[in-house]
């Protein structure tokens, strides 16, 4: 963990833990960023209004322990060719259940 403090003892949020950087700004569609977690929190990038709404709803659920956006998922087809897909949001619940949420599907 890096020292992300600035004068006066204020700590900045940690960087996103996603495997892919989200778009910072667009004139064509919604982009956003929020800070989740306790203390200084963790930056979370969002690329649609639906992602923003859903992420805030999941973050408010008591059984959700962790949220990470843009998580790499690799899979292979029947020919053995490897493909990559980024899952919009992955939620980990307190009981260890891991759920991938593809908002755009």
The two three-digit tokens of residue 80, written as one number? 């053995």
Give the closest residue to 34 by CA, choosing from 25, 45, 26, 48: 45
Residue 100 has pLDDT above 90, yes or no: yes
Total count of residues recorded for the chain: 105
Instruction: State how many domains the chain has.
Output: 1
Q: Is the pLDDT of residue 3 over 70?
A: no
pTM: 0.80
**Of 24 and 47, the one with more pLDDT:** 47
The CATH number assigned to the domain holding 90 equals 3.40.1350.10
pLDDT for residue 84: 95
């Amino acid at each position: 963990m890096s020292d992300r403090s600035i004068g006066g003892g204020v700590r900045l949020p940690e960087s996103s833990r996603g495997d892919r950087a989200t778009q910072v700004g667009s004139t064509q569609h919604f982009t956003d960023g929020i800070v989740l977690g306790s203390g200084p929190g963790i930056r979370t990038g969002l690329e649609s209004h639906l992602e923003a709404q859903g992420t805030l709803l999941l973050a408010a659920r008591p059984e959700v322990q962790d949220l990470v956006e843009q998580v790499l998922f690799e899979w292979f087809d029947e020919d053995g060719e490897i493909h990559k897909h980024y899952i919009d949001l992955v939620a980990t619940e307190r009981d260890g259940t891991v759920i991938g949420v593809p908002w755009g599907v």
